[in-house]
Amino acid sequence: MNFRSKALKFCNIAGLPVLEPFVRLAAGEDPKEQMAGIAKFLLLPIFTVCIFIGLWSMAARTVVTGSAQLPGPKATFDAGVELFQMHFAQKEADLAMRQKKLGSAIQAMAKARVLEQAATNASGNKKTELLVTAMAYKQEAVRAANFVPSSAPTFVDQIITSLKTVFFGFAIATLIAVPLGVLCGMSPWFNAALTPFIQVFKPVSPLAWLPLAGLIIIWAYTGSDPATNWFEKAFLISAVTVSLCSLWPTLVNTTLGVASVDKDYMNVAKVLKLSWSQQLFKIILPASLPLMFAGLRISLGVGWMVLIAADMLAQNPGLGKFVWDEFQNGSSQTFARIAFSVIIIGLIGLLLDRIMICLRNLVSFGNPSPAG
Amino acid sequence: MNAIISPTTTMSRTDAEARVIHTESSAPKPMMTLRNVSKGYGSGATRNEVLKGINMNLRDGEFLAVVGFSGSGKTTLTQLLAGLIRPDSGEITMNEEVVTGPSPDRGLVFQNYSLLPWLTVRGNIALSVDRVFRHWSRAQRHEHVDKFIEMVGLTHAVHRRPHELSGGMRQRVSLARTLAMKPKVLLLDEPLSALDALTRSVMQDEILKIWEEERQTCLMITNDVDEAILVADRIVPLNPGPSANLGPAFTVELDRPRNKTELNHNERFKQLRNAVTNYLVAVRQKSRRDEAAQSTQVRIDRPNISPKDLSLSGRTQL
Ligand SMILES: Nc1ncnc2c1ncn2[C@@H]1O[C@H](COP(=O)(O)OP(=O)(O)O)[C@@H](O)[C@H]1O
Ligand SMILES: [Mg+2]
């Protein structure tokens, strides 16, 4: 395969039709035709974004209440830059702090050594006294070495927490939904047994789940030592809410995918007399992967959307909490920061969606879906 | 047997008559036998009788072609033979044993290839080989797969997936996958119908070449009379449904190896082609008239088809 077809295949699988006209241009195809593609996928979106920013600036000048004002594009951008600057400043300070603590840890350790050395030559009460002091220095050294800066999470920290939460919740949802979906797809009886639950719980909003999820997690955590817990309560409540909401698209799509495996593929399996597990792993699962991934893509989208609300309510340190806290603080920057968060939340959602499209295209041979 | 075919009389044979299987002493023993097999789909008012009272012998080592119009139940017939579906009544046997389910002994080439899109050419063929010859060593199986990929001329495309192949190449993979299982009987369900005329012609020669090397018992479904005559030892028409049954068999007495261009000038070939085509056209007209007669409740005379002399190519009754 030559460069051109390889690159075109990449555009197709990555769901990036934007790049296609450029690849074709680079390969020396008719520039006129490619200009149409560039205009459609690049110039037109740039144009509409410009119009949007113009309208936004106008709105920012008009929407003014007594105490606040709708932040314009410039204010939003500045607030974003400031948030990132704050993050890096904070990290630098933390690093310096750790450096200092490490230095003192080394010093304490050296002192402990000296004392221990002295103890080997001493005897009786003097020796015990020296050893006890050395022990105290050692403990101090360990504490200093394990020091974690306790500064408030920055905007970037919140993004990372949010991503962790959504992936954790999404992973739980996938681990539950895919096996259940496979069973539903393979056995109409099992499907009939689960249908009432699926249909009743699917349309329920995350906010209704949250108190119940919280209750169950608080129950599970009662009497346990906080130090031995793997996860924080708020994190788990958020994650479980995300899973409960993002379960359904994967479950429904997996069921559909497994139930609608091409009859011809099953005939191939029958002629070869494949065993049950071979049928499952060599025919049914690979054949239902495209639909399964279409479901996973919707699930991740739903999960990300739900997460922001769940973070707000569960007070999980994520983007949702950031928005909520900003709103409560009510500083002059409040609305600009919230507007910036909205854009960042949208961009991350877009990125996650792209990744899922790409994965789906990787498993659906011959019919990659256009980016939609 | 007389040498005259009259579709009207052959079609009105009763089941009892049809069950009398004409056996010449020289004829090889049947590999597969269908006795009074019927199959329909659905139940009640939506019941659709597809095949009714099918009697057929597939002889050891012969190439049998079944020709028929689309929708007459050809795929149903091959699926019955493969054991993928069970007859409603009657019996299908292979070497005197009743067929109760599919088996790698009866290799089926599907009408629409049925290649697994997530596997490469090698993967598709290896799936069968690894399953059927699981007692072989890995190296043996690998070599076996290679051999069949080479046989169908796809060595350059082993790592491609089905969506990167042309229709003809897909059919080659499908053929290699089935041949590599070393089945005792090869069942080909319209293997070439989805191909363009040029590819089809090339593939006909190739199927013929492969068959002449192995001389495997083979049943091929087709909708092309020329193709049937080119490849087959015997041709059996499948009458139009519903409740389709088989017409009389035409024996193809043309020397092998056969060559398409030479055949076109062969008198026997031309006569046989006319005979089979006329038969098919006649049964279709009759079935249409029967349908019309049924719907209007008006009795229409049966078609008057002039008898045809087929002394050149001997006919045998199924
Ligand atoms: N699984 C099925 N269920 C119901 N009807 C079927 C099924 N398979 C085939 N048929 C019907 O049986 C008839 C014959 O089909 P088929 O054997 O596929 O014909 P052919 O291969 O000759 O075109 C058609 O009318 C078709 O609608
Ligand atoms: Mg068919």
Task: Judge contact between B40 and B88, C-beta under 8 A.
Answer: yes
Task: Judge contact between A129 and A200, C-beta under 8 A.
Answer: no
Question: Is A129 at the interface with chain B, CB within 8 A?
Answer: no
pLDDT of residue B303: 65
d(CA A179, CA A254): 9
pLDDT of residue B11: 42
d(CA B198, CA B215): 25
Render pLDDT for B119-142 as a digit per residue (tens, 0 to 9).
Answer: 999 999 999 999 999 999 999 999
Q: Which of A331-340, B5-14, B199-208 has the lowest mean pLDDT?
A: B5-14
- Ligand 2 centroid to B157 CA: how many Å? 28
Quick check: A181 pLDDT over 90? yes
Interface residues from chain B to A (CB-CB < 8 Å): 79, 82, 84, 101-104, 106-108, 110, 112, 114, 116-118, 127-128, 131-132, 161-163, 181
pTM summary value: 0.81
* CA-angle at A366, arms to B158 and B222, nearest 5°: 75
- Taking the CB of residue B260, how many other CB atoms lie within 10 A of it? 14
Query: Which structure tokens are listed for A12?
Result: 């197709």
In the structure, what pLDDT confidence band is assigned to residue B157 with cuts at 50, 70 and 90?
very high
In the structure, what pLDDT confidence band is assigned to residue A141 with cuts at 50, 70 and 90?
confident
> Between A187 and B23, where is the model more confident?
A187
What residues of chain B lie within 8 A of the CB of A265, using their CB? 114, 116
Render pLDDT for B44-68 as a digit per residue (tens, 0 to 9).
Answer: 888 888 999 999 999 998 999 999 9
Nearest Cα to Cα of residue B220 among B68, B115, B18: B68
Average pLDDT over chain B reads: 84
pLDDT (average), residues A81-105: 90
Render pLDDT for A4-62 as a digit per residue (tens, 0 to 9).
Answer: 888 888 887 887 778 888 888 888 888 888 888 888 888 999 999 999 999 999 998 88
pLDDT of residue A348: 94
User: Ligand 1, closest atom to CA B85?
Assistant: 1
pLDDT (average), residues A122-142: 85
d(CA A256, CA A248): 12
Contact A365 B161 (CB under 8 A): yes
Q: Which of A172-176, A231-235, B277-281 has the lowest mean pLDDT?
A: A231-235
Report the share of chain A in percent with pLDDT over 70. 97
Q: Which residue type, as a one-letter code, is found at position A273?
A: K
Domain ranges of chain B: 2-105+183-291, 115-182
What residues of chain B lie within 8 A of the CB of A270, using their CB? 84, 101-102
What residues of chain B lie within 8 A of the CB of A278, using their CB? 131
CATH number for the segment(s) B2-105+183-291:
3.40.50.300
pLDDT (average), residues A351-355: 93
pLDDT of residue B170: 93
pLDDT (average), residues B247-265: 86
